[in-house]
Structure 1
């Protein structure tokens, strides 16, 4: 039987191996088919064959329509796509489906019209040429769709890069806004610290001043106790002592030593809660548009049809 292999680089082009070379365990493409021997030969082997069998009729690649199907093609057609390794032997008329033995046992045991392909093939006429035209058309359309989808993939990558930069720009703007809020808050904090320190410094200075003045008055009173005939100075000292004592008492009442001075910070919880509730920096919208519209938004789009859908029930 003729043997052959399918080249993956071509969709439908089949090649055949020389049978004589294959028996010697190396591959070589066949160039001729002997219709008498029903074997394939390469250029070298066909010369030897013709010397031995001058009356045998052989066909070159120009008459490949007279060559047999390659083994790869036969296997491709006969092997069940569901149960690999099993051949298609039956046809279910009810499901219009080719079946292997496993298909019949698993899925078509209840079907009444299951016949052998050898019997069915003679009754069902098929226009292979018409199918070939349909297949070629489908291949062209698939290639076109593949090309379009590959373009879609490239555009998705392009739009991803563009939108990624937009996301980062939004983050930069938010960072800048937060930096500004931080700067303003720190400025308010520094102003509060300065104002409080200035106020406390005044109290400290007053404490020092009153202590010094009271200390001087104490020393003056002690000195006057040792002197006689100083009634006027004693009166003045006593009056000053009373005035300074009253001033000190009032100052101490106004500034209770038990009060702690501190700076408080209250977080803007509205801002914090708002950011916590956000799921992302923005909304990602996914859509499938025609590449022509995506790449050229100014192009006129022709409406070929429309459909209406009720989406009120969709949550």
Structure 2
């Protein structure tokens, strides 16, 4: 025969409330009534009180739905843990029908309507209840395989987390090195700027000193010519011929 048929898990968003033995009936809630629920319909994923359960059973559409007592449901697991109530037995194609067989030719779970419409010519279709080889050892093997895959996934996650930590550390080190380089470069530029300003001030002082010397020279020269001009005018107006001649000869460039 073929392999074990795959599981079809459907998580019910209403299971958070079912864990309580004081679960209220969902049908009554929609009628603004409060009634304690005692049963759970896996196909409808709703809690039912005894009265609504009878109405539910009278409807042909819901006749083959799987009903379980709430008080017998596993309450030992946490809300986030999967349990049997999370395994939907309804056909994903014909939602009013229950999955009862498996087609090994197409590797598909089937309801009776699926078999009638799509698998009549298939040679390897078997009712799930007749699968004597579906033993605990098969489930144990599946669980072992799932555990192995989980270990591998956790290992990969650990490796990826390690790679991320290394990457974060690498970027942190690069940032620190960049900051250190910029700080060192700034210190060198500050030193060069200070040296440049110092040398510039020395050059400025030398230039100012040379300019001051030239200014004094020209100032003295200007004063000299002022005196010479004044003396020459005085000699011209009041001096004797002898004084004029001597003054002329003394001031004549040699």
User: What pairs with 1:160-309 in structure 2 (closer than 5 Å)?
Assistant: 160-229=171-240, 231=242, 233-243=243-253
* 1:21 is aligned to 2:25: yes
Contact conserved, 1:29 with 1:42, CA < 8 A, in 2? yes
User: Within the alignment, does 1:74 sit opposite 2:78 as a pair?
Assistant: no
Q: Does 1:122 align with 2:133?
A: no
Cα–Cα, structure 1 residues 157 and 226, in superposed 2: closer, same or farther, change >3 Å?
same
Change (3 A) 1:117 1:237: farther
Q: Which structure 2 segments of 5+ residues have no match?
A: 1-9, 43-63, 76-82, 94-102, 109-117, 127-132
Aligned length: 182
Mapped contact 1:16–1:30 kept (Cα < 8 A): no
Shift, 1:178, TM fit: 0.9
The two structures, once aligned, show a CA RMSD in angstroms of 4.9
Q: Compared with structure 1, are the counterparts of its residues 162 and 117 closer, same or farther at alpha carbon in structure 2 (3 Å cutoff)?
A: farther
- Where does structure 1 lack aligned partners over 5 or more consecutive residues? 10-14, 44-58, 63-67, 80-90, 99-114, 247-315
Q: Aligned to 1:140, which of 114, 128, 151?
A: 151
TM-score by length of 1: 0.43
Change in 2 beyond 3 A, CA 1:40/1:182: same
For 1:149-195, what per-residue CA distance to the aligned partner results, in whole angstroms no more than 9, with x for missing partners?
A: 23433443344334322211111101011111212222232222222
Give the TM-score normalised by structure 2: 0.51
CA–CA separation in structure 1 for the residues paired with 2:147 and 2:194: 70
Residues 239, 184 of structure 1: CA spacing in aligned structure 2 closer, same or farther, 3 A cutoff?
farther
The answer on 1:5 being equivalent to 2:16 is no
**Bigger radius of gyration, 1 or 2?**
2
What SS class does the counterpart of residue 5 from structure 1 fall into? coil
- Structure with the bigger RCO (C-alpha within 8 Å, sep 6+) is 2
Shift of 1:208: 0.8
